[in-house]
């Protein structure tokens, strides 16, 4: 896959989400006015996010 400046933009936004930065703060940082753009196009589920979700679900009391 070709690496472009947009690749770094996707990575940057995904890392901010992974760090639990608020959506509004991310949008302000990258100049988005529509949250759909930030969520649908620029955020990706990382292995770390998937792993943390699995751990949380496994720790729910039954």
Q: What is the pLDDT of residues 37-49, one digit of tens each?
A: 999 999 999 999 9
What is the residue extent of each domain of the chain?
A: 5-58
DSSP 18-44: HTT--HHHHHHHHT-S-HHIIIIII--
* Residue 36: predicted pLDDT: 95
Contact 26, 11 (CB under 8 A): no
Please tell me the pTM assigned to this model: 0.82
Q: What is the pLDDT of residues 3-61, one digit of tens each?
A: 999 999 999 999 999 999 999 999 999 999 999 999 999 999 999 999 999 999 999 99
pLDDT classification of 62: cutoffs 50, 70, 90 = confident
């Amino acid at each position: 896959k070709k690496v472009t400046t947009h690749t770094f933009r996707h990575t940057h936004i995904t890392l901010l989400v992974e760090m639990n930065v608020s959506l509004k703060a991310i949008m302000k940082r990258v100049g988005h006015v529509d949250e759909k753009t930030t969520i649908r196009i620029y955020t990706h589920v990382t292995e770390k996010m998937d792993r943390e979700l699995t751990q949380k679900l496994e720790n729910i009391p039954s």
